[in-house]
Structure 1
Amino acid sequence: MDNKMIVAWMESGMMQIPILLMEKYRQIGLDEKELIVLLQVISFIEKGNHFPTPEELSERMTITSKECSLILRRLIQLQLLKIEKDNSEEVRSEKYSVAPLWTKLADELMSEQKQKDLQTVLDEGQDIYTMFEQEFGRPLSPMECESLAMWLDEDKQDPVIIKAALRESVLSGKVNFRYIDRILFEWKKNGIRTLEQVKIHSAKFRQKPKTTAGQQLNNKKSGTVPLYNWLEQ
């Protein structure tokens, strides 16, 4: 290839197309023709022509200027393209803005993330019910299911913390909802929000168990670690 051709090709410029646009154009309401028209508009803008006519767009494509005009109108209706006043020069004119397109893509991305977060919460919720039934060795009663739902929905308890409270009740040999509810209440009152805080808080109480001198002596002989009774708090 002639060097002059390579230089001319490089000087004509390059346009970067966001991968997100190529992945999500269908979700934001575009078909392939509309996408190409939109990309052509962006291309004209990057070359300094901020308000290309349907005729100019049509010259680069295999569709008529009339069809380009209809597509431009639809892009504006979809709020993916906007016409603004251009006051950068002495003569007032109009220009296209693709800012609505980037906003739409950002909204789509945020919406998908919220859906993923919701699904994660639902999955964790289902996992919690399974974990409780395994530890209880039976299906949960309607009242127990309601208590569990209340911890998740009303108290906004982290599923990880609820699981930790269940494990605490199992270690204490008191596997019942009243005991677990008391643990969650105490942890929330003391600002316990993470597993690390749970470990520190629980260890602090286990170092000072409410046992008699005889029980303490037996614990030392047997090598067992006394457990804290949360219902006595």
Structure 2
Amino acid sequence: MSMLQQFFKEGVSLIPKGIITHYKELDLSPQAFILLLYLIDHQVELQSEAYLQRVSTNLGWSENESYEFLSELLTKEYIQFEMIKDHHGKQMDIISLEPLYLFLESFYKKDEPESQDGLNESEQKSLIQLFEGEFGRSLTQLELMQIADWKQMDQFNDEVIILALQQAVLNQAISLKYIDRILLDWKKKNVRTVQEAKREIESFNQAKTERSRQANLGNQVPEFEPFKVPEFDWNRFKPE
């Protein structure tokens, strides 16, 4: 396996564009910002003291440096510690990113136009409900921010986003990363309307069918004419 293949096999991080866009407003040192991105990407692991040791190792910092940058995030009130019980009933501290989401939400509300593609609040909620129905669970704050990025940063309307969701469902790859790749591809091709998206889907499916057909042709065993044994006159060798 090549280094590039290994790189992609390890996965891709999903970071909402809004965090990058509002980097200046966050007013963080570069190191604290990197730590914040790391925490966002590893939310499910923010539950043990050993986690900070792993952060130090992965980012090449000493533990003192990690605590220093973590303290900056706490002071700026982008994270907070919360006490929860683990599955054994033991109390433990976790790092919560809820303050960060509330901070960024204020910018989304400020940037959001009064009327967005003619959609009212109930229609916008229905988009979220559609995603939650396909995912079979409630969306996280990070996922909600990603959908908001598609609408506000990338300027995709709800109908186009729904088409991308449908493609993910049909391909049995229901994840925001997969949907984001679809929308990114459409953005590169300047696909903006439902009609353009449908044409792109049709073109993609036709190309996929043709590739499959060519692959099947390549796997077919060529037919050969049955070998015919030439007739031979054995009488020629009989003694007279």
Structure 1 length-normalised TM: 0.41
Structure 2 length-normalised TM: 0.40
Identify the structure with bigger relative contact order (alpha carbons < 8 Å, sequence gap 6+).
2
Largest Rg, 1 or 2 = 1
